[in-house]
Amino acid sequence: MEYLLGKTLDELTAIAEEAGLKRFAGKQIADWLYQKRVTTIDQMTNLSLAARDKLKQHYSVGRQAPRAHAESIDGTKKYLFSVTPKQPFSVTPVTPSERGTGGVIESVYIPEDDRATLCVSTQAGCKMACRFCMTGTLGFHGSLTATDILNQVFSIPESETLTNLVYMGEGEPMDNLDAVLRSIEVLTAPWGCAWSPKRITVSSVGLVPELKRFLDSCECHLAISLHNPFAIERRQIMPIEQRYPLSEVIALLKQYDFSHQRRVSFEYICWGGVNDTPKHANELLRLLRGLECRVNLIRFHEGVERDFPASDEKQMVWMRDYLTEKGLTTTIRRSRGEDILAACGMLVNQLNESGQQL
């Protein structure tokens, strides 16, 4: 059984013709999937009953409701999804042993004033093995399909109110670029959701060939996980530095124009006395000189079982003000959902069907 969610207009048109329908039925199916957001083929009522029956022999929509959710005291919500649903909207219990099998992933809904952002996962677990990230402790269990990615967007209760999407959940988006680009095409195409690409940000630790392909393929924003401007120190916490040095990433980015609508930002978790010193601030200025960008300072979460000391508020404010005064726009990103393990680097699939931590 194949899933329709994630198919392009050309693919849906071919499927319609296989079912004996006119070519324009492909556009009708796309409208049912991406605008009306149906969950079953039976709901596509402007297709004949015979056509729907024929479609159901080989396809289903591919939607599945979250298996569980938890809500933070700050309003953030974390959702647990099965990977590639076997039965649309089936609900089965998750067990502690399932956490590390790749059978489930998490996404995070973040409401704030007039914005509603969803942070989606692109892989089950992660192979990048950044030392400070809890998700890396799950290991890597496979890349999600475009269906899996889009299901996170379409199947949360707040789906219709989303204003922004960030590919910053489990996994490295550039390591699953085909599925990421396909999901972005569905979200931004006129026959899909018709979102502006400026509503979407994709993160990366810095896989250079895939970054180039991404930058050449779409106009979405980019966020680079930087965390330390010195190669030797960065290599100790981010193994990717060995394969694709940050200097190569920056050199690539400087070939592109970020002075207009598309933005590039750098994510920077702050650790006390480790990467929040004047030496690090000045190296950031040197490294990013000539690149139109911003730096987002991120608080480290003490609850994460890693041997890193969090920066104090005073030092983070100093670093923000110092970099901004020197011409590098810098902000302190507000931490959300820490109490439900939904904040940056904390996704470890620890929800059961009751929304409780395992």
One DSSP character per residue, 29-77 reads HHIIIIIS--SSGGG-TTS-HHHHHHHHTTEE------SEEEE-TTS-E
User: Which DSSP string do the residues of 316-355 spell out, in sequence order?
Assistant: HHHHHHHHHHTT--EEEEPP--GGGT-STT-----B-TTS
Distance CA(147)–CA(190), nearest Å, equals: 19
Rg (CA), the chain: 21
**Of 198, 290, 299, residue with least CA distance to 253:** 290
- Which residue is catalytic, options 106, 170, 210, 241? 106
| 126 assigned to active site | no
**Between vectors from CA 326 to CA 324 and to CA 332, what angle results, nearest 5°?**
20
Residue 317's CB: how many other CB atoms inside 10 A? Answer: 13
Determine whether 313 is an active site residue: no
Q: From the DSSP assignment, how many helices (H) and strands (E) are in the chain?
A: 11, 14
Q: Which of 119, 130, 293, 344 is catalytic?
A: 344
Residues with a known catalytic role: 106, 344
